[in-house]
A and B are shown apart, each in its own frame.
Chain A
Amino acid sequence: MKKNVIEVKNLEKYFEVSGGFFSRKKATVKAVDDITFEIPFGESLGLVGQSGCGKTTTARALCLLDPKTGGEVSFYNNEKSEMESIDELEGEELKKFRRNIQMIFQDPYESLNPRWTIKDIILEPLNIHNIGDLDEREEAVAEILQTVGLTPPENYMPRYPHELSGGQRQRVSIARTLIMKPKFVVCDEPTSMLDVSIRISIMDLMLNLAKDLEVSYLYITHDLAVARYMCNRIAVMFNGKIVEIAETEELLNNPVHPYTKRLISSIPVPDPTYDRKVYDINFDELDSLIEKHGSDSPMIDIGNQHYVATHDVKGLI
């Protein structure tokens, strides 16, 4: 049995919105509704879906950037060798947790402070968590810059973000994330702003680092082709819920949920001779599966660690 780095159970994030200017009525937007998944050590999970389906909200709730409104998130505690709910963390414990869970943001142009040098940016987490003395910290910065391919590091340390290209900036973001030696990194579309030729080098860098440093990723993207390259498993999200989750190749070859099929068939293929498989939107396969397995649980296991949601999405797709 593989150990999980993070387990998420029935995660909910509801937003209250007012019904109108004079209205006292409040409506609830269920941005993330009853999401359950786990990620084993060293593996990566892709979270794929249309914009507005709740991918980023899930990520922010996991990183404690926005408090969740329901459900449970537990994280593996190395010292105690057991899963620990993040709700109970306080003070020093919470700080330690934050060290282990980091986030890479989408836009490398906006997520780096323009008035800070690269050295300051990467040094900040070390200062906050008070790790090592000044010399050790600088050494760590030089080392991590080399790891992410910004060599020689002394050339990059005194520079400002605007002096770097998009790809180099995203490398700085990755360096800043990894200097804390986290076990789990949430990546929110880290390559969607980058050019095609640079994108792969960043993706390869992240894959290599995952292997060397044993980091697990939750990789958020709207592009299934990117998710396929990066992830062991893929979860497809639609309207705040996960509709299907399986091993990457299993999901791409045998999609069951109509939304997954639709998503797969809308990805352009870089081959002019290839005729894209167009799936019809019909619920027959899903309905018969639900009948066979019973619809008591929100997700049914159809073998091969392939799970599909049973909730009703007819009329939404």
Chain B
Amino acid sequence: MSKDVLVVKDLNMHYETLSGDVSAVKNVSFTVKEGESFGLVGESGCGKTSVAMSLLQLQADNAKISSGSIKLDGIEMVGMSESELRKVRWDGISIVFQGAMNAWNPVVKVGEQIREAIREHYPNNTKIQNTEKIESLFKMVGLDSTIMDRFPHELSGGMKQRAVIALALSCDPKVVIADEPTTALDVVIQDQILKEIKKVQELLGLSLIYISHDIAVIAEMTDKMAVMYAGSIVEKGPTSEIFANPQHSYTKSLLASTPSVVGDKVKLNSLEGEPPSLIDQIEGCSFAPRCPNRNTTCHPELDMELVEVGPDHFVDICSASRN
């Protein structure tokens, strides 16, 4: 049995804005084991990236973690000082950011930017050691070592994204967060990058948190997954189990609205309405206003809470009570 690397418990995060507090992350709990890939899926604005930023505590100035705990290898990260956090970032948890284009400093060579990260965490390494390290990282993600001396604008989108992955791996982290690493890329390049991430993850035995709005990508990339809606996790469990036996109405809607190139051509179902504004306090089930499966056995007034419906398979109480 592999051990738990990252344990997130009852995490709450809100943004303080002029018009009030926006609760972006509400009571989010999940566990990622060693060598496991965990998917986080949901619509834009559901809080996926806010969760990622809270894990690294790179969130914007107006964002506050109000309660909860994030334990990496048993060490509590909430409440750490900035200097302690600097040691954990990249060493413990690193992130592959969303837009490869925006992740690089345009006037510094790609290799130098990776070197900077390694130097910060391994100050005693020699220059040659670092160069070798970068060369091996580039080899791992399928880049030529000459790319080191190129500027970001000289690289294609796919190459930049590969280099961002190399950067994320540069300090041998235990957990890598991939925040929509392929959204700005073409389907063919996306496929290559996904294979690369999978290969590296298996090779190094990394724990991966994969964030995406595309449920097809989550299906291929992850062992376990959680579905987020309006800041909360509404269903989580083993990926194969959730696809085979979805319990929450929102999960079902997501699955029913994803077109596929294989299998019979099926009529897809859309979801009416829009996600609620997170500025208002939502009582009870946040999905109830859009829920296509509401009936008399529903209890939308119950506060959101995950209950176990199968082995390691949790779903929000409102949907659980109906099924």
Contacts and interface: CB of A to CB of B under 8 A. Distances in A.
Interface of A: 50-51, 165, 167, 195-201, 203-204, 222-226, 228-229, 249, 252, 262-274, 276
B270 A270 contact: no
Nearest to A228: B261
A271 B243 contact: yes
A272 B259 contact: no
Please classify the interface of chain A as helix (H, G, I), strand (E, B), loop, or mixed, using the class held by over half of its residues.
helix
A168 to B, nearest CB: 9
Given A196-B257, A198-B274, A272-B243, 16 more contacts: A50-B187, A167-B274, A197-B253, A200-B259, A201-B270, A204-B268, A225-B261, A226-B259, A249-B265, A266-B187, A266-B188, A267-B216, A268-B216, A268-B220, A270-B243, A270-B258
Given A50-B186, A201-B272, A228-B259, A196 B43 contact: yes
A165 B45 CA distance: 12
30 contacts: A51-B186, A165-B274, A195-B43, A196-B43, A196-B257, A197-B253, A197-B270, A198-B270, A201-B270, A223-B259, A224-B261, A225-B259, A228-B261, A228-B265, A266-B188, A267-B191, A268-B191, A268-B216, A268-B219, A269-B261, A270-B219, A270-B243, A270-B255, A271-B260, A271-B263, A272-B240, A272-B243, A273-B240, A273-B243, A274-B262
A203 B216 CA distance: 18
A271 B240 CA distance: 8
Interface string B228-272: 000000000001100110000000011101111111010011111
A270 B217 CA distance: 7
A200 B220 contact: no
B133 interface: no
Nearest to B255: A270
Contacts of B220: 268-269, 272, 276
Nearest to B220: A268
B197 interface: no
B157 to A, nearest CB: 9
A269 B188 contact: no
Contacts of B257: 196-197, 199-200
B257 to A, nearest CB: 4
Contacts of A276: 220
Contact of B261 (A197, A204, A267): A267
A223 B187 contact: yes
Contacts of B243: 270-273
Interface residues of B, number: 37
Contacts of A200: 257, 259, 268-271
Contact of A266 (B190, B239, B258, B274): B190
B179 to A, nearest CB: 17
Nearest to B215: A270
Given A50-B187, A223-B187, A252-B261, A195 B213 contact: yes
B214 interface: yes
Contact of B258 (A196, A201, A274): A196
B44 interface: yes
A258 to B, nearest CB: 12
B7 interface: no
Contacts of A197: 43, 253-254, 257, 270-271
B117 interface: no
